[in-house]
Amino acid sequence: MVRLPPVPPMDGLRKRIRKSRENGDRGKGDPFIRETFRLPRNLARAKAREWFHAWPKAAYWTEVESWRQLPDDEIEFTMRRLPTAD
């Protein structure tokens, strides 16, 4: 019989993650600007195009960082870009 090591308690980690999210702390070395939207599908596409037009991917590393489909054909997504095109 193989004994697996005990699973460490996760309460401390969960508490730190929750506190970090509440404080808006995204990491000290992360230069990206992020904005999250929740829009109907057609407006979500238009908003993403607007970001790519205003901050071109080649210069600002603009991208849809994450997205998910919600009920009623809504899309929640996070756009990310650099603050400047240096």
The mean per-residue pLDDT over the stretch 16-34 comes to 75
**Does the structure show a pLDDT above 60 at 57?**
yes
User: Is 11 or 44 the better-scoring residue by pLDDT?
Assistant: 44
Question: Quick one: pLDDT at residue 22?
Answer: 74
**Does the structure show a pLDDT above 80 at 27?**
no
Cα–Cα distances (Å) from 14 to 17, 23, 25, 30, 82, in that order, read 5, 14, 15, 21, 29
Residue 77 pairs in a beta bridge with: 37, 67
The structural domains of the chain, with segments of one domain joined by +, span 32-80
Question: Quick one: pLDDT at residue 50?
Answer: 97
Percent of the chain with pLDDT over 90: 60
